[in-house]
Amino acid sequence: MAGPLANKHVVLGVTGSIACYKALDLASKLVQAGALVDTIMSYGATQFVTPLAFRSITHRAVVTDSFDPDSEYSVEHVALAQQADVIVVAPATVHCIAKLALGLADDPLTTTIIAATAPLVVAPAMDGNMYDHPATQANIATLKERGVVIAGPGIGRLASGLSGVGRLLETPELLGYISYAMGKDGDFAGRTVVVSAGGTMEPIDPVRVITNHSSGKMGYALAEAARDRGANVVLVTAPTNLADPALVKVVHVRTAEQMGKAVQEHATKADALVMAAAVADYKPAVEAGQKIKKNDDELNISLAKTEDILKTAKGNFVRVGFAAESENLVENAKSKVTSKKLDLIVANDITAEGSGFGSDTNKVTLIDRDLAVEELPLLTKYDVSNRILDRVKALFKD
Ligand code: CTP
């Protein structure tokens, strides 16, 4: 199994909040992502959901008691602490956060955390007033200073019926924070990577656009992979159906022109620009101010060339392009390396199986500025991203 969580030991700490039911979903998604999940529950958590529920999902023992004579671990908190690649407390109550800030160790979870050196993610869930309380704010600030990754809380409906800040983040976001926490000191730490994604939309009139089949998945996977290696990531994206990746600066645009402006603005300070977006090469020469009515049998729309963002972007960054081709893959991609002065191009045959638009996998060929060709096997888009980033790393200009 691929991905940042595959075969990782995750200690999932669950403390007493109604949001405990969401922790079951998190446990399930962690397991699906290939993680080995050891759950530690506070007494309060066991009042909301049962240890059996977590055991059924994780297929591993659930720790609830520091003094359980039947435990499979000799010294539980030390064993789990040493194994952990990451510790996640979700949901984290106001009380748990206070204990962590003070360094207290009076239950299996806090004892494990204080015995561990693994990255720690704390996902608060509480009522708005509890979160806003100066004591809670001070405790969260203390944890942040120590390098703890605070995930959320989100804004929305709370269990009290009120609306405000205090919701446990949703599972996909939590997974993003967990991957980020594991990789924040990775080989891209201190680097800025700008990634573009999606298919631009060029308006014909207020109702219609010219666009393409790009799903954005490749660009989003690149943004997540770069984040998971410690990079600051700016994702400039045309509209997609995908959720914004956590801990990535996402700039939403629609047209090639808007994408060009946003890319240039952020690329100036970047170490790498990876243009995974399918940018329209042509746009309607004039956008009709009113909806075009159907009158004649034929409608001709005159198209004008858009600016080539990749070719014209100014700055001293590693320049990576994509070439989606339906024929003469290597030849066409090589000529783009030369004409756009690229450091690397990622060529993919859009007709190949597992490589089409919207697919979760991709089979690509990498061609560098010396026109050396490396054909990669069929991989997930996340794995393809890491192979691209390996090459980018070797090409950094300083
Ligand atoms: N690109 C860009 N700006 C454009 C068009 C494309 O930055 N206006 C980028 C794409 O994001 C991609 C690379 O250039 O990284 C190659 O795009 P592609 O459309 O395949 O290349 P073109 O030079 O437009 O060639 P083709 O004739 O095959 O469309």
CA distance 353 to 364: 12
Beta carbons within 8 Å of 298's beta carbon, 6+ residues apart:
none
Q: Quick one: DSSP state of residue 278?
A: B
End-to-end CA distance of the chain: 34
Parallel/antiparallel/unpaired status of strands 272-275 and 318-325: parallel
Is the beta carbon of 323 within 6 A of some atom in ligand 1? yes
Give the distance (Å) from ligand 1 centre to CA of residue 292: 29
Cβ 107 vs Cβ 32: under 8 Å:
no
Residue 315's pLDDT is what? 94
**pLDDT confidence tier of residue 78, bands split at 50, 70 and 90:** confident
**Domains of the chain with bracketed CATH:** 9-183 (3.40.50.1950), 192-395 (3.40.50.10300)
Taking the CA of residue 256 as reference, the ligand 1 atom at the shortest distance is 8
Least-confidence region, from 67-81, 269-283, 306-320, 367-381: 67-81
Is the beta carbon of 45 within 6 A of some atom in ligand 1? no
Strand partners, 337: none
**In the predicted structure, residue 289 carries a pLDDT above the cut 60:** yes
Q: Which of 129, 212, 300, 386 is catalytic?
A: 212
**In the predicted structure, residue 7 carries a pLDDT above the cut 80:** yes
Cβ 41 vs Cβ 63: under 8 Å:
yes
* Among candidate residues 358, 353, 357, the one with its CA nearest the CA of residue 378: 353
CA distance 247 to 327: 37
Residue 69's pLDDT is what? 60
**In the predicted structure, residue 122 carries a pLDDT above the cut 70:** yes
Structure-model confidence comparison of residues 99 and 357, the more confident one: 99
Taking the CA of residue 320 as reference, the ligand 1 atom at the shortest distance is 15
Is the beta carbon of 310 within 6 A of some atom in ligand 1? yes
Average pLDDT for 315-344: 95
3-state helix, strand, coil in the chain (%, to 5): 35, 25, 40
Residue 65's pLDDT is what? 80
* Among candidate residues 218, 230, 309, 234, the one with its CA nearest the CA of residue 269: 234
Taking the CA of residue 311 as reference, the ligand 1 atom at the shortest distance is 7
Average pLDDT for 44-60: 97
Residue 142's pLDDT is what? 98
- DSSP per-residue codes, 101-152: HHT---SHHHHHHHT--S-EEEEE---HHHHHSHHHHHHHHHHHHTT-EE--
Average pLDDT for 16-42: 97
Dihedral angle, C-alpha 348, 354, 358, 363, nearest 10 °: -30
**In the predicted structure, residue 75 carries a pLDDT above the cut 60:** no
Residues 65, 68, 69, CA angle at the centre, nearest 5°? 175
Give the distance (Å) from ligand 1 centre to CA of residue 281: 7
Known active-site residue 328: no
Which of the listed residues 275, 303, 331 should we mutate to test ligand 1's pocket, taking the one with most ligand atoms within 8 A of CB?
275
Residue 67's pLDDT is what? 66
Residue 354's pLDDT is what? 77
